[in-house]
Amino acid sequence: MEQIFKDPLKLVGLTIAATALLSGFVVVWPLEPIERHGSFADSTPPEALALEGAQVYYEEGCQYCHSQNLRPLPSEVARFADAESYGDAVLPVATEYMFESPAQRGSTRIGPDLTRVAGRLTEDQVRAVLRGGGPAGSLAANYHPYAHLFETDAGVNPLFLSWRIRMLREVAVPLSDPYQKSVWWALEDATRGDALVAYLVSLGQRQLQFRGQFYQ
């Protein structure tokens, strides 16, 4: 030990080795992808199109007007969710957000909360809202000039989605290698609008299927 402290070269070498080892523990080790498939019924990964849609939602800034943050107040539950079909799963739980990074819970509500929008609107209704198809002069018609999202398939690229899944896995989102490979064929001919709709109709759908079924 004394030898090391006397010899500056050895000391520098030891410091570098110790720093590298500690960085390994602190930085690399916690980022190892965690494989948790099958541990929870509601941890099945989302459809590839819906995962792409989460990104479109974020890019288009929907989170600045819509929260996904239903609070346990009777008035809110009555307004934004159908408590009868959700049973005890009416409020959002952490596992619903584990495939999203960043989670888009938001806190501003210029439009309605979207946590349980899948139980409230059908796919066609969501499509109509986004195309600005509400009655002329209504808020939805004014606030949703998103018809262009449905017009071309530009901007939906399986390669980018695949990279994003890789990135998500790096931050311990429980997606698997086969899942990453499977998305290559999942986006064919889809537009950004289609992806967004798939994402919106998936919000709260899992809870309807896995938990709500016991209360129907």
Give residue for tokens 């759908």.
205
Question: Of 2, 20, 38, 61, which lies in the binding site for ligand HEC, with binding defined by CB under 6 A?
Answer: 61
138 binding ligand HEC? (CB under 6 A): yes
Whole-angstrom Cα distance, residue 216 to residue 4? 72
Question: By C-alpha distance, which of 133, 128, 177, 187 is closest to 157?
Answer: 187
Question: Of 51, 183, 196, 198, which lies in the binding site for ligand HEC, with binding defined by CB under 6 A?
Answer: 196
Whether the Cβ atoms of residue 63 and residue 103 lie closer than 8 Å to each other = no
Whole-angstrom Cα distance, residue 114 to residue 47? 18
CB of 16 to ligand HEC, least distance (A): 49
208 binding ligand HEC? (CB under 6 A): no
**Which CB, 116 or 169, lies closer to ligand HEC?**
116
Q: What separation in angstroms does the CA of 161 have from each of 33, 47, 50, 56?
A: 17, 12, 11, 11
**Which CB, 105 or 120, lies closer to ligand HEC?**
120
Structure tokens at 169: 């896995």
Whole-angstrom Cα distance, residue 21 to residue 53? 39
Question: Of 46, 146, 156, 169, which lies in the binding site for ligand HEC, with binding defined by CB under 6 A?
Answer: 146
**What mask, x for binding ligand HEC by CB under 6 A, covers residues 108 to 127?**
--xxx----x--xx----x-
CB of 71 to ligand HEC, least distance (A): 16
**Which CB, 134 or 158, lies closer to ligand HEC?**
134
Question: Of 77, 83, 128, 140, which lies in the binding site for ligand HEC, with binding defined by CB under 6 A?
Answer: 140
CB of 122 to ligand HEC, least distance (A): 11
Question: By C-alpha distance, which of 66, 102, 84 is closest to 208?
Answer: 84
Whole-angstrom Cα distance, residue 41 to residue 26? 31
What lies within 8 Å, CB to CB, of 15 at 6+ separation is none
**Which CB, 65 or 103, lies closer to ligand HEC?**
65
Contacts with ligand HEC by CB under 6 A lie at 57, 60-62, 64-66, 110-112, 117, 120-121, 126, 129-130, 134, 138-140, 143-144, 146, 196, 200
